[in-house]
């Protein structure tokens, strides 16, 4: 009841004025299926309020919110200190807030004709493939991890994102933790200089490239793999267990975070624990601290409050893990920082 009363002022204000409110946002493709569902459901509750979300990649979301061309952005990789400083410089010293929304997983997807089994991937195999050092499907590292599977002597066609991407950030953040060579030669970022591979735009583009290219391997968000009925592998975690991506493994990875930073910028890739899926991440909405339009400010704050309660109940159906209860409580307090 308290929650319903909390939302009433916005609903009444919008109804009384008859004003149509359009909130523009852009960014990550990783959570797009979830955001699309949320924005649709919220619009049903408040028909005068419409969200226009462009799924252009995390790099684009950070760029547009910094430039002020959208009301908020979205990213699967937290903004760097430099990006936050750039935002402040463009907005008179006012900052940007990170609000985690759900948890998801990057998965290694592959198109390997004649192989029906779900493959296992070690950290060494994934780093080696994306560094261009492991080039054949029957490489010893892959054979060792997949006993009894007849792997072909075919070249591995690597597929990666061509756009600035939080899905990429999660993938390369993981590779940087498990491979010192990757960390020093390539590193982290929403965009990197790939040693090998073909590019695809968005999770949709990488999915399409892998589906139409025999012997290919790429990385996409779990929801896209499930929706496109693609083969995806298990990944060996920090405890030495091969874990299939899913809600349980992602939730276990999130539970490994003992000290959540106040700004919610945290990485949970390669998390400890035998049940943790190692390429998991929060995804964030990037909300300006200062929103000058009072109607939009109120609408965004009330949407965040709804997202943290009702929105979380919808996440599992679409393949995302809901936020931990302690994080939800801290985010509910953080909404007050939006001025």
pLDDT class of 256 with cuts at 50, 70, 90: confident
Give the Cα separation of 28 and 73 in Å (integer). Answer: 8
Contacts of residues 224-231 at CB distance under 8 Å and 24 or more positions apart, as own/partner, are 225/107, 225/109, 226/319, 227/33, 230/109, 230/111, 231/109, 231/110, 231/111, 231/112, 231/118, 231/119
pTM: 0.84
Using one digit for the tens of pLDDT, what is the confidence trace for 199-209?
999 889 999 99
Residue 150 scores a pLDDT above 90 = yes
Using one digit for the tens of pLDDT, what is the confidence trace for 29-72?
889 989 999 999 999 999 999 999 999 988 899 999 999 999 99
Q: Please name which of 123, 107, 140, 242 lies closest in space to residue 182, comparing C-alpha atoms.
A: 123
How confident is the model over 104-110, as a mean pLDDT? 96
- Six-digit token pair at 124? 């060494």
Q: In order of start, what are the domains of the chain with their CATH numbers?
A: 2-103+280-337 (3.40.190.10), 105-255 (3.40.190.10)
- Six-digit token pair at 117? 């089994």
**3-class DSSP state for residue 255?**
helix
Give the pLDDT confidence score for residue 4 in this predicted structure: 39
What secondary structure letter does DSSP report for 279?
Answer: S
């Amino acid at each position: 009841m308290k929650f319903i009363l909390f939302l009433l002022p916005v609903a009444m204000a919008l109804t009384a004025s008859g004003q149509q409110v359009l909130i523009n946002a852009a960014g990550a493709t990783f959570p797009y299926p979830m955001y699309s569902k949320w924005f649709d459901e919220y619009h049903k509750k408040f028909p005068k309020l419409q969200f226009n979300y462009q799924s252009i990649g995390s790099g684009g979301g950070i760029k547009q919110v910094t430039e002020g061309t959208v009301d908020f952005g979205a990213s699967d990789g937290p903004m760097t200190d430099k990006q936050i400083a750039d935002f402040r410089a463009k907005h008179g010293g006012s900052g940007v807030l990170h609000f985690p929304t759900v948890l998801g997983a990057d998965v290694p997807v592959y198109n390997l004709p004649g192989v029906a089994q779900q493959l296992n991937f070690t950290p060494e195999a994934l780093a080696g493939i994306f560094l261009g050092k492991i080039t054949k499907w029957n490489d010893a590292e892959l054979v060792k991890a997949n006993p009894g599977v007849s792997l072909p002597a075919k070249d591995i066609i690597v597929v990666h994102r061509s756009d600035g991407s939080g899905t990429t950030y999660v993938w390369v953040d993981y590779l940087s933790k498990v491979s010192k060579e990757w960390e020093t030669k390539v590193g982290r970022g929403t965009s990197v200089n790939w040693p090998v591979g073909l590019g695809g735009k968005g999770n949709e583009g990488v999915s399409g490239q892998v589906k139409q290219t025999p012997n290919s391997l790429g990385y996409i968000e779990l929801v896209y793999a499930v929706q496109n009925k693609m083969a995806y592998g298990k990944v060996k975690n920090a405890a030495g267990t091969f874990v299939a991506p899913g809600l349980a493994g992602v939730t276990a990875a999130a539970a490994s975070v003992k000290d959540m930073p106040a700004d919610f910028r945290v990485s949970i890739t390669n998390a400890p624990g035998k049940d943790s899926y190692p390429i998991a991440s929060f995804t964030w909405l990037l909300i300006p601290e200062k929103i000058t339009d009072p109607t939009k400010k109120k609408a965004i704050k009330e949407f965040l409050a709804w997202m943290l309660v009702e929105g979380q109940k919808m996440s599992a159906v679409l393949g995302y893990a809901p936020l931990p209860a302690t994080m939800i409580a801290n985010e509910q307090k953080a909404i007050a920082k939006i001025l």
